[in-house]
A = this chain, B = another copy of it.
Amino acid sequence: METKAVKSETKHQIISPSQMLAHWQGHRKLTRRVIEAFPADQLFTFGLGGMRSYGEMVKELIAIAGPGVKGLAIGEWKELDENLDLGDSKEKLLKMWDETTQEIDHWFPKISLDKYQETVLAFGQYEDKSYCTLLYFIDNEIHHRGQAYVYLRALGIAPPDFWER
């Protein structure tokens, strides 16, 4: 049910911050199911056409998401570090994924609405408007998850439906 507060928040804009957060977390739920669909012994080893395993791609997504949203919120950036110490464990990857979910929920609402149109130097090296940087985080996740769909199909596994969030 839509409250007056929601109507006021969403008036005169394509998408409100809380809607963008829900949109991304919806995508992240699907990504989590895709990670789960991989056999543990294929997640960090299987690749096609010389490409990285999906486990390695997910490390990149995790390295970006939590620190990225915190950076957008308070302007604190460190260098991007994808070398997560997970011992190529599917269980640890999923645990870190869930921790990131909480980090995003914590920091996202702290990005002020005016911030999105400001230019930011993400991770000390990627200059763009904040909204473009945020969309990059989400789009990059969708891009790599699309690749994981091919990996799963090639492994004979049916991936979850794209429209299920």
A156 CB → nearest B CB, Å: 8
Residue A81 lies at the interface, judged by CB distance under 8 Å to chain B: no
Q: Which of A12-70 contact B (CB under 8 A)?
A: 12-17, 19-20, 23, 27, 48-51
In the complex, are the beta carbons of A163 and B136 less than 8 A apart?
A: yes
Given contacts A51-B153, A146-B146, A153-B49, A14 and B12 within 8 Å (CB-CB): no
B162 and A140 contacting across the interface, CB-CB below 8 Å: yes
Give the segment of A85-93, A98-106, A110-118 that binds chain B.
A110-118
Interface size class of A (residues with CB under 8 A): 35 or more
Which residues of B are found within 8 Å of A155, using beta-carbon distances?
Answer: 49
Whole-angstrom distance between the alpha carbons of A162 and B10 in the complex?
31
**A127 on the interface (CB 8 Å rule)?**
no
Closest Cβ neighbor of A143 among chain B residues: B146
Which residue of B has the minimal Cβ distance to A139?
B142
Report how far A143 CA is from B20 CA in the complex, Å: 18
Asked if residues A114 and B12 are in contact (CB atoms below 8 Å), the reply is yes
A107 within 8 A of B: no
Partner-B contacts on A (CB < 8 A)? 10-17, 19-20, 23, 27, 48-51, 113-114, 116-117, 131-132, 134-136, 139-140, 142-147, 149-156, 162-163
